[in-house]
């Protein structure tokens, strides 16, 4: 599916960066053009259940953006 988005090129070229929690890589994050994509290692659709500490970090960082 394709969406029209003026900042798509900014996001498209943004690299995946490691997501860290206490010096441990717990996933990856990609940010660009106001869009953020996060993956959490060893977590399925129930991230708060599978990885509660990482889930808390993700939500905490998201609220800092506002």
- For tokens 């939500």, the residue is 59
Instruction: Measure the CA–CA gap between 18 and 24, rounded to whole angstroms.
Output: 9
pLDDT score recorded for residue 1? 67
Instruction: Measure the CA–CA gap between 23 and 2, rounded to whole angstroms.
Output: 37
Burial of residue 24 (number of CB atoms within 10 Å: 0-12, 13-18, 19+): exposed
How is domain 8-64 classified at the CATH fold level? Rossmann fold (3.40.50)
pLDDT score recorded for residue 66? 67
pLDDT at 5 over 80: yes
pLDDT tens column, 23-51:
999 999 999 998 889 899 989 889 999 99
Q: Where are the domains of the chain?
A: 8-64
């Amino acid at each position: 599916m394709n969406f029209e988005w003026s900042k798509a090129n900014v996001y498209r070229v943004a690299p995946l960066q490691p997501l860290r929690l206490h010096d441990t890589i717990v996933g990856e994050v990609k940010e660009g053009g106001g869009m953020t994509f996060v993956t959490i290692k060893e977590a399925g659709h129930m991230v708060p259940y599978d990885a509660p500490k990482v889930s808390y970090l993700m939500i905490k960082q998201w609220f800092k953006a506002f």
